[in-house]
Chains A and B, each alone.
Chain A
C-alpha cells in the first residue's frame, strides 16, 4: 500500500500532470468567476428571491423585478427562464424534492400539472388573500385565481383567442368588415380562397395549437347555451359527447373539408403558421392574443396584423369568446423567504405594474384604470369580456390528462384517422380519470 502511494508521487504520467494542471486552472477560474451578487451585497442582509418562470414571462418579469429592486434594494430577484415543458419538469422535480424556489410560474385554474389547483392542493403555495389587489379580481376570473376562496396566484390579466389576420391580405381580397356570424365567417373564407390565399393557417404539428379552434368555438356552442356547463360536467351531469363540443368539432372539420386550411396542417409547425400569416401567404390564424408580438416581429410592418373574435354561432348575439387568465406566478408556502416573496407579489398587484405586465404580453389588464393600455388588436373583444366570455376550457378541467388527449384527437381527426364520436369518447374517459 505504501509502495503504491509512493509510486503515485514519483511516477505520475505526463497525462495525469496535464489533467491536474487543467483541473487547477479550472478551479482558479471557478473562484474568480463567482457572480457579483455575493460581493456587492456583501453585508449579508440582502434577501435573494429565486424565481423560476417560462420564457414567455421573461420580458415583463425582468422589467418589474428591476423596478422592485430599485424600490427595495435589500431584495435581489434571481430569475431563471426556460421553455414551458422544461420548466414544468424542473419545477416538479424541485417541488417533489421539497426545495421549491421562492417564486415560480403557476398556471391559472386547474387542468395542468403546474396549475394553481394542483399545486395549492398539495399545500405548496402561499395564501395571498390578504393582499389588496385580490379584492378586485373580477368575479368571472375567481376560479382561475382561487381555491376554496383563497387566492394563490398572481396574473396580470387575460388573453383572448380569435382570428389573427393580415390586414393587407384582407384588403386585397376586398374584405370590408370582420364577420359577425359563422355563415359570414365561412363566406369570408370562401372569398379569401377564391382570391388565391390560404384562408386559415393551421400549425397543428405544435400540440397546443391544435386546441385553439375548438376553444374559440366552444364558448358559443356550449357556454352561450349553458353558462354552468363546467359545474354540471364536474358533477357528472354533462359530458363532451352530449354537448355543443360535438358541434364545435364538426365546425372544425368543416373548415378542413372546405379546404380553408393550408395543406398538411399536421406537419405544419407554429413557426410556419406564424410565417404564413405574417408574410401574407395565409390570411389568418386562429390564435391566442399572446402570440401577437411574435406575429408582428415576423411581419414587414407590425401594423399589418389585427384580430377579431371568431363567431361560433349564426346569431351574432349568441357569439361568446374565450378569455383566459394568462400564466402567472405564486410564492412557495414553505420557503424561508415566503414573506419577502409575498411582498414582491403585492408589488406586482399594484395597478401600474398590472398595466406594465399586461402591455408587455398584449394582454387585457386584470383591472383597469385611466392609464391602462389595451392593445388595439384586441379592442374588438372588449364588448364580450364582461358577460360573454369564458375561461380557457382546460382551466376548469379536473385533471391534466384531458388537454393532451384533446391535442391528440384533433391531430387524429385532421389526419382522418378517427371520428368525432371516438374523439369525444376519449376526452370523456380522460375527464373521468
Chain B
C-alpha cells in the first residue's frame, strides 16, 4: 500500500521503460539512508510528544510540582465543554474554506505564472511575497485593512460597509480571506514544482495532435500534477485544522466566541487558564482528529489518482 501512488507510467518514457523493463530489477536503497533523519526526528519530535502525552491524564497546572493522575477525567470534561465542542464547528468551516479557496487560487496562479510570460519571474515573487511575512504580522496588518470605518481600508477601497472582524457572522470568513491571501502563493509554489516536472514535449505533442488548452490541461497536466495536488490538499487541510497564529492575533477567538478554534481553546487552557493537563487532552484529541481526516483524504485522493 502506498500513500502517494503517483502514476509512474509516463507516455514519453514508454519506450525507455520497455527497454529496461526486462533487465532492471529495482532494488531498495539501504536503511542507512533514512537512519540519520529518523534519529533527529525521534529525538526532537517523537520522544517529547510521547512524554508529553502523559500530562493528558493529569491535572497539572503547567507550573510547579503539584500534579496527580486523574485518569480520563480530562476527556470527560472535554465532552461537556460547550466552548471546546463549539470550536470544532468553527475549525471545520475555516478548514474547508481555506482548503478550497487557497488551492483553487494557488492552482490558477501556478498555471498563470507557468506560462511563458515576460514578467513570470517577477509575478512569482509577488504572489509568493505574502508567505514571507510572519503570520502574526499578517494579522496585525490586516487589522488595518479590515478597519470597519467605511472610509478606510478595504471598505474604503471597495465602497463597502462591512464589519470584517467585529460581526460574529463575518469574522471567521475574514480570517479565512486573510489566510488565503497569505498562503495561495504557498500552494502555488508546490503546484509549480509539479508543473516544472511536466515535460514540455508532452504539451507540444498534444498541441500538434490538435488538443485545446482545456484538453491539454485535463489529459496532460492534471494527471501529472497528482503528487502536487495530494501534497497541497493534505498540507492545507492539516494547516487549517491546526491554524492558530492568525486566529489568535486577529481576533483571539472573538467577538465573543465566534472564531474560537480547537487550537485557540487548547492554547488558552494551557497558557491563560493554567490547565495544562486538560489542554494536553484537547491536543491529543486534535491530533487524532487531524490524523483521521488526513487518512480519509488519502483514500479519496488515491481514488482520484486511479481514475485520472
Residue in chain B with minimal CB distance to A115:
B274
A418 to B257, CA, bound (A): 12
Q: A205-B166, A266-B167, A411-B254 are in contact. Are A122 and B66 (CB under 8 A)?
A: yes
Please tell me if B36 contacts chain A, counting CB pairs below 8 Å.
no
Residues on the A chain within 8 Å of B144, using CB:
271
**Tier of interface size on chain B:** 35 or more
Q: 29 pairs across A/B with beta carbons < 8 Å? A: A4-B30, A88-B271, A92-B62, A92-B271, A92-B274, A112-B272, A113-B62, A118-B63, A123-B64, A124-B63, A205-B254, A205-B255, A266-B165, A266-B255, A267-B147, A268-B149, A269-B147, A271-B143, A271-B144, A272-B147, A399-B273, A399-B274, A400-B272, A401-B273, A404-B272, A407-B252, A411-B255, A411-B256, A417-B168
Please tell me if A312 contacts chain B, counting CB pairs below 8 Å.
no
Point out residues on A near B: beta carbons under 8 Å. 4, 85, 88-89, 92, 95-96, 112-113, 118-119, 121-124, 204-205, 207, 263-269, 271-272, 399-401, 404, 407-409, 411-412, 414-415, 417-418
In the complex, are the beta carbons of B166 and A407 less than 8 A apart? Answer: no
Residues on the A chain within 8 Å of B251, using CB:
205
Residues on the B chain within 8 Å of A207, using CB:
252, 254
Which of A121, A404, A418 sits near B268, CB closer than 8 Å?
A404
In chain B, positions 238-284 with a C-beta closer than 8 Å to chain A are: 248, 251-257, 267-268, 270-274, 276
In the complex, are the beta carbons of A417 and B256 less than 8 A apart? Answer: yes
Residue in chain B with minimal CB distance to A262:
B149
Q: A207-B254, A415-B255 are in contact. Are A264 and B166 (CB under 8 A)?
A: yes
Please tell me if B158 contacts chain A, counting CB pairs below 8 Å.
no
Minimum C-beta distance from B252 to chain A (A): 5
Residue in chain A with minimal CB distance to B153:
A272
In the complex, are the beta carbons of B62 and A266 less than 8 A apart? Answer: no
A205 to B65, CA, bound (A): 37
A419 to B127, CA, bound (A): 45
- Supply 20 further A-B pairs (C-beta < 8 A) apart from A122-B64, A123-B65: A4-B30, A89-B267, A92-B271, A95-B63, A113-B62, A118-B61, A121-B64, A122-B65, A204-B166, A205-B251, A263-B148, A264-B163, A266-B167, A266-B255, A269-B147, A401-B273, A408-B253, A411-B254, A411-B256, A415-B166
Residues on the A chain within 8 Å of B61, using CB:
118, 122
Residues on the B chain within 8 Å of A268, using CB:
147-149, 166
